[in-house]
Structure 1
Amino acid sequence: MKNVLSIQPHVVFGHAGNSAAVFPMQRLGVNVWPLETMQFSNHMQYGHWAGSAIDAPQMAELVEGIGTIGMLRRCDAVLSGYLGSTSQIDAVVEIVRTVKATNPAAWHFATPVIGAGAGSSVDEYLLEKIPDIADGLAPTHDALQKLAGRTIETVDEAVVACRELIRRGPQVVCVKQLRDRNSPADRINLLAVTHDEAWLCQHTRYPFARQPVGVAELTSAIFVARRLLGDTVRTALEHTVSAVHAVLKATFDAGRYELELVAAQDDIAKPREWLGAWLAETA
């Protein structure tokens, strides 16, 4: 059984952060240790929420507690998402180092969430710190542009930017919702790049009245789980896009805003519609 330490916020109602990531990984057969950096009543896009964040020392204490009982050596991966302060970012950096010191085979997959209310200085600090400690990175298109320091308009340009990031340390970069001027407007792109591979996969863009929250966390969770279970980068990407598409279709068909994770759980585990990836190499 593979074990993932998932460091993300939690919402009591709905699906965002760990509330969008834990169940899909469990449904795929991966054990999850949720470390909840915040506990809110619901995600912030509702305009009202209640709850609070935990401080960085408590994050470190929780991981130290796992180490004290001798279980940290069983941690196969750390998955990190939205972080609301520079101190939480520093805490994740130290947690990753602690996990890797205990289990050198463990790896860190990060979703560098920016523009979600933490503030520009926190966003900049995140983009400075996290890529250097991550073995895998899953930026949005906007985050990739910030990391690259330039505008990206095509798949080829995105592949080049991902390879630049890989030279900083990550072994794989997955770009979520990649905007490509050559792709149909009714499709959503997901790109996975390694040192010597680049795969592109697409799924349908559904015309939601307002876009569901938690898709980024769902995407990273499925990709991490499938990689831990032995999938190649290509197969993990295909499973991820196929499963995310099934969840979004179920959500849209139900006329809902919150992701229909439970309704689509069988498709998360074994997608009925498999969406294939193709090579997206530069010339």
Structure 2
Amino acid sequence: MLAPILSIQSHVVYGHVGNSAAVFPLQRLGREVWPLMTVQFSSHAGYAGWRGRAFDAEMIDECVAGLQAIGVLPLCAGLLTGYLGKAEIGEAALRALANIRAANSEAVYACDPVIGDVGPGRYVAGGVGEFFRDRALPLAAIATPNAFELEWLTGERAGDLRAARAAIAALRRRGPRIVVAKSLMLDDTPKDALDVLAGDEAGLWRLRTPKLPIAVNGAGDLFAALFLHHWLERRGTREALSRAASSVHAIVTATEAAGSRELNLIAAQDELVRPSRLFAAEPV
């Protein structure tokens, strides 16, 4: 069994977003996961009639204190954060990070800065975007923004490769060693494709996959979890990008074939381990 990850993000009863998109895939890959929920909703909030509530920061603190009390924090290989709900939850997550790093100085923080998306724009509560920008990202080793979040966090447009490179460099200057920008449509990206760019101290890589005619919930959450897992396994950005993006593309392809709005994680779980098609990340 691989060293555990503490995953602090949302949970839904129905469907696969947040921890519901991260925990099973990591477990299927042999990774122990400690899921800690920021919210519990009946479903993704895009469904009419959804119900649920956000948890408070004290609950996060209490659970982490419990982990500390039973002496397991030195085992933790990393922290993954996604949707937080409110900035106070984020502060609790950073307190968790401090406790983890006090117990294991090698622990890796992967921050998926969930703020918004192209189309709907910013959809989180006031202060959450600023928390990610000013508090979380300076402490993160890995950041996985989408195209909208990359531009919002840096104030840089990312319409072509040169601009996207500059935006990734600007975000890396805020703290993360590795920045992976998802779902980019650059001026040279074919209309039937999507690009992912990943930058670290060794360079910049681009991975291109076919754009599928489906919009699903949770694909970004799944990618962030898989990227962290593969990076911990291989300590290589290029390899982690290839493995994570290939599995996500395969899962979304299976979801489209099933006619589902929710990720087809269970039926297509073998794609997490051995994706049907391996996409290569190329240096740019």
> Structure 1: which amino acid aligns with 2:246?
S
Structure 1 distance, partners of 2:240, 2:84, is 25
Tell me which residue corresponds to 2:40.
39
Rounded to whole Å, the distance in 1 between the matches of 2:89 and 2:210 is 35
Range 225-234 or range 133-142, more displaced:
225-234
**How big is each residue's C-alpha offset from its partner over 1:52-106, in whole Å with a ceiling of 9 and x where there is no partner?**
1110011011011001000001000000001111111111111111111111010
Partner of 2:191: 185
Letter in 2 for 1:264: A
Aligned to 2:110, what secondary structure does the other structure show?
strand
Give yes or no for contact 1:139–1:176 (8 Å, CA) kept in 2. yes
The TM-score with structure 1 as length reference comes to 0.95
Shift of 1:231: 4.9
Select between 149-158 and 112-121 the one with higher mean Cα deviation: 112-121
2:147 to 128, 141, 147: 141
Contact 1:243–1:268 (CA<8 Å) still a contact in 2? Answer: yes
How many Å apart are 1:30 and its aligned residue? 0.8
1:130 partnered with 2:136: yes
Identity among equivalent positions (%) equals: 37
Partner residue in 2 for 1:105: 106
How big is the shift at 1:124?
2.5
Q: Larger deviation: 92-101 or 70-79?
A: 92-101
1:157 Cα deviation (Å)? 1.5
The equivalent residue for 1:84 is: 85
RMSD of Structure 2 on Structure 1 (CA): 1.3
Deviations 1:129-149 (A, max 9, x none): 211111110111111111211
- SS at 2:234 equivalent: coil
Task: State the 1:167 CA deviation.
Answer: 2.2
**Alignment size in residue pairs:** 278
Q: Contact 1:202–1:241 (CA<8 Å) still a contact in 2?
A: no
User: Stretches of 4+ moved more than 6 A in 1?
Assistant: none
- Amino acid in structure 2 at the alignment position of 1:13: Y
Q: Which runs of 5+ in 1 are unaligned?
A: none
Tell me by how many angstroms 1:127 deviates. 2.1
One-letter code of the match for 1:216?
Answer: G
Alignment correspondent of 2:119: none
Please tell me whether residue 239 in structure 1 is matched to residue 243 in structure 2: yes
SS at 1:212 equivalent: coil
**How many angstroms apart in 2 are the aligned matches of 1:187 and 1:200?**
12
Separation (CA, whole Å) in 2 of partners of 1:117 and 1:162:
22
Q: Aligned partners of 1:194, 1:268: CA distance in 2, in Å?
A: 24
